[in-house]
Structure 1
Amino acid sequence: MTRVLPPLAVSLGDPAGVGPELIAAAWARRRELALPPFAVVGGAEVLAAAAERRGIVLPVARIAGLAEADAAFDRSLPVLGRADAAYTPGLPHPEGARLALASLQQGAALALAGEAAGLVTMPVAKAGLAEIGFAHPGQTEFLAQACGVDDEDAVMMLAGPSLRAVPVTIHCPLAEVPGRLSSALIAAKGRIVIEALRRDFGIANPRVAVCGLNPHAGEHGRIGHEDAEIIAPAVAALIAEGVDATGPHPADALFSPRARAGYDAALAMYHDQALIPVKALDFDQGVNVTLGLPIVRTSPDHGTAFDIAGEGVADESATIAAIRMAAAIAALRAITSP
C-alpha cells in the first residue's frame, strides 16, 4: 500500500533575495502544475509583501502545525509560525539573516521528525549568515550536522533534465583541489551517488562517468599525475565492487549530448567542473539535491540574486523543479523503505 506522505517544508531563504517571490510564484501555479502541498517555515509578512510587489494575489494561512497544510494549500499558502522580518528586496540585513536561519533550523527539525516529507531550502547569503554566527560553509554542511552525518558523506548533486553532476570537492580554492583529492574520497563519493541513483531516482543499474582533473585527463602523465595515480584507482575500485563506472574522462568532452547518453551521473573533481555544464544546460530547471542524508533535501540551483530581487523578473522554474524533485524522491523512499 502506498504511504500517504506529509507536506513538504520550504525554508524561506534570505528575505531580501528572490526566494520569497519565487515561493509565491510557485504556489500561484500549484493547480496548473499539480504541485504537491508544501508549507513555508516563517516569513508570512515577507511572503505577502514579495507577492504583492510581483503582482501575485497571495492569501496566506498561518498554521500552527504542518498537519494543517494539506487542507489549506489549495486556497492559501500555508506558513508555519509567526517569525518574520522586514521585506527589503536587494538590501540584506541581520534581522533577515536571523529569520533565514530560524526557518532553516525549524525546517530541518520538521523533516527529521517525519512531520515533513522533505525540505526545500531557498537561497541564503552565506556572508550574512556568518555575520550572525553561522559557522558552516553553507546549508548543506549545516544539514549534515543536523542529521548526524559527516560533511564528506553529505554529497551535493546538481540535477536537471539534461544532466546530473556531483563535485567531489566543493567550496575550496582551485589551487587546493589536487591536494584534497584521494582515491578513497572519490570512491566514497561514487558509492553514495550510486546508492542515491537507485534509492532516490529509481535507476536499477546506475552508470557513473568520472571526470579527469587535468586537460585530456592527464594524457598518460604528460599533463599532471593525478588522473593516473588518484582518479584511475578510484574508478578501478568502484568497478571491482560491481559499479558501472568509467573514467577518468577528459572533462571537455564528457558533457556533449552523445557522451551524456552513456551515463546517469557525472562525478566531477571540483565545483565549477560540475556546475558550469549543469547551469549551461539546465539553468532554469537545475536542482541542488543533497545525497547521503536521512532526510530529503533539495534547493533551486541559484543564489539569492539580490540584484534582481523585487523586480518581478526572477524565474520560478528551478523552485518548482526543486519542489517536484523533493516530492518524487520522498515518494520513492516511501515505496522502498520498510
Structure 2
Amino acid sequence: MSPAPIALSCGEPAGIGPELAVAAREALGSSVAFAWIGDPDHLPEGTNCSVIDDIGDAADVAPDALPVLPLAFPGPRVPGTLQPMQAAKVVEAISIGASLASEARASALCTLPIHKKALAEGAGFAFPGHTEYLASLAGVDHVVMMLASEMLRVVPATIHIPIADVPRSLDTTLLDRTIRITHEGLRRHFGIDAPRMAVAGLNPHAGEGGKIGREDTEIIAPLLERLRNEGFKLSGPHSADTLFHAAARARYDAAICMYHDQALIPIKTLDFDRGVNVTLGLPFIRTSPDHGTALDIAGQGVANPSSTVEALKLAWRMAGGTV
C-alpha cells in the first residue's frame, strides 16, 4: 500500500513556490502523491489544478493536474513583491500541513521556501525559520536540521545564530542530542542499521591540540569518546577542510558540523540543485528544498524545480513509498 499523500505548504507567494509546485507535479506525475496548500489564484496562469477538500483525494487526481487544498489569501500574488497582509496565511499553510502530518492524514510535510523577514514583519513570526517553528508546533525541545543529497548528508549542530555565538552555544548536551537524533534518523528514515558519523572540529585543524582553541579537545573529543564506548560509530573531531573530498565522504553516512556554513557550503557546492532540507526529531517527516524564495526570478518560469522534486521524492521514500 502506498503512503498517504504528502502535504506541500505554499511558502512565500511572491517567490517561486507556486511555480515549483506546478513544475514538481509535471516532473513526478502520479509517482508521488501530494497536495499543495495555498490559494489556487496564486498559481501561474493556465495551471491545470484540481481543488480537493480532503488530502486523501490527492491520489485520485489526474496526473497532469495539481491537487490543491485551498487556502484563501488576501489579495493576488505579485511575483517579486512581498505582500505583508499575506504573511499570516503563509504561516497558516505551514500549520495546516503540520497538523495533517501529525494526524497521519498526510505521510509527510514538505515546505516550500518562506521569506522570514516578511513573516516577522507581517505576522509577528518570532522563529528563525521553519525548523524552529515546526519544533514549537510539535512540542519538541530539540530537533536536527539535516541537508541531504545523493552525494552528502550534513548536520549543523548550531543553526541560525551569529557566528560569534557559536563557541559559547556548543556544549556537551547540545552535541549529544544532535548526534543521537541524527543516529536515530539515519536508522529510521534512511535504513542504515549502524550509521557512521564523522564529526567536524570547531576550530581550524580541529584546534591543533589546543593551540588554536580549546573547544575541540575539551568539549567535542571527550563526548565522542564516551559515545564510542556506547557503541556509536563516530570519527573525529576532524579538521573540516579535509572532511568533504570524495575519499573522505566515502567513509561516513553523515557529517556532524559545528555551525551553519561549515555544513551548508560543502553540500551546496557539491549538489546545489538537489540538496534537501530534512528535519529530524519531529514526530512526523518533514523535508524542504534547500534554497530560498528567489524573488528576483519569480514569475519568469525559469526556477529550477530539482530540489523540490528531490524533497518530495525523499519524503515519499522516508514514508515507505517507492519512486
TM-score category, normalised to shorter length: over 0.9
- Aligned match for 1:99, one of 72, 79, 89: 89
How far does residue 98 in structure 1 lie from its aligned partner after superposition? 2.3
Structure 1 residue 36 corresponds to structure 2 residue 32: yes
Cα distance in 2, alignment partners of residues 154 and 18 from structure 1: 27
* Contact preservation (8 Å) 2:71, 2:93: no
Which SS does the other structure have where 2:256 is aligned? strand
Same amino acid, percent of matched pairs: 51
Structure 1 residue 46 corresponds to structure 2 residue 37: no
- Aligned match for 2:298, one of 309, 313, 325: 309
Structure 1 residue 122 corresponds to structure 2 residue 118: no
Alignment deviations for residues 99-123 of structure 1 (CA, whole Å, 9 cap, x no partner) = 2111111111111111101000000
How far does residue 73 in structure 1 lie from its aligned partner after superposition? 4.4
* Contact preservation (8 Å) 1:37, 1:73: no
Alignment deviations for residues 168-201 of structure 1 (CA, whole Å, 9 cap, x no partner) = 0011111110000012211211011011101000
Letter of the aligned partner of 1:11 in structure 2?
S
How far does residue 30 in structure 1 lie from its aligned partner after superposition? 2.3
| Structure 2: gaps spanning 5 or more residues | none
TM-score, L = length of structure 2: 0.96
**Equivalences for residues 183-194 of structure 1 within 5 A:** 183-194=172-183
**Equivalences for residues 187-226 of structure 1 within 5 A:** 187-226=176-215
* Contact preservation (8 Å) 2:147, 2:275: yes
Alignment deviations for residues 219-246 of structure 1 (CA, whole Å, 9 cap, x no partner) = 0011111100011012112201100001
How far does residue 214 in structure 1 lie from its aligned partner after superposition? 0.5
After TM superposition, which residue ranges in structure 1, 4 or more long, deviate above 3 angstroms? none
Cα distance in 2, alignment partners of residues 73 and 245 from structure 1: 47
- Aligned match for 2:98, one of 101, 105, 108: 108
**Equivalences for residues 11-30 of structure 1 within 5 A:** 11-30=9-28
Cα distance in 2, alignment partners of residues 176 and 27 from structure 1: 41
- What is the match of residue 153 of structure 2? 164
- What is the match of residue 308 of structure 2? 319
Cα distance in 2, alignment partners of residues 81 and 101 from structure 1: 14
- Which piece of structure 1 moves more, 74-83 or 87-96? 74-83
How far does residue 35 in structure 1 lie from its aligned partner after superposition? 3.2
How far does residue 96 in structure 1 lie from its aligned partner after superposition? 2.9
Cα distance in 1, alignment partners of residues 201 and 282 from structure 2: 27
- What is the match of residue 144 of structure 1? 135
* Contact preservation (8 Å) 1:209, 1:249: yes
- Which piece of structure 1 moves more, 100-109 or 79-88? 79-88
- What is the match of residue 241 of structure 1? 230
Structure 1 residue 135 corresponds to structure 2 residue 126: yes
Alignment deviations for residues 48-102 of structure 1 (CA, whole Å, 9 cap, x no partner) = xx2x3xxxx5211111111211111424111112423411111011133222111
Which SS does the other structure have where 1:166 is aligned? strand
Letter of the aligned partner of 1:37 in structure 2?
A
* Contact preservation (8 Å) 2:94, 2:111: yes
* Contact preservation (8 Å) 1:165, 1:268: yes
- What is the match of residue 328 of structure 1? 317
Letter of the aligned partner of 2:116 in structure 1?
K
| Structure 1: gaps spanning 5 or more residues | none
* Contact preservation (8 Å) 1:38, 1:73: no
**Cα RMSD between the aligned structures?**
1.4
- What is the match of residue 4 of structure 2? 6
* Contact preservation (8 Å) 1:184, 1:234: no
* Contact preservation (8 Å) 1:169, 1:181: yes
* Contact preservation (8 Å) 1:191, 1:238: no
- Aligned match for 2:259, one of 264, 267, 270: 270
Structure 1 residue 83 corresponds to structure 2 residue 83: no
Cα distance in 1, alignment partners of residues 62 and 86 from structure 2: 25
* Contact preservation (8 Å) 1:86, 1:96: no
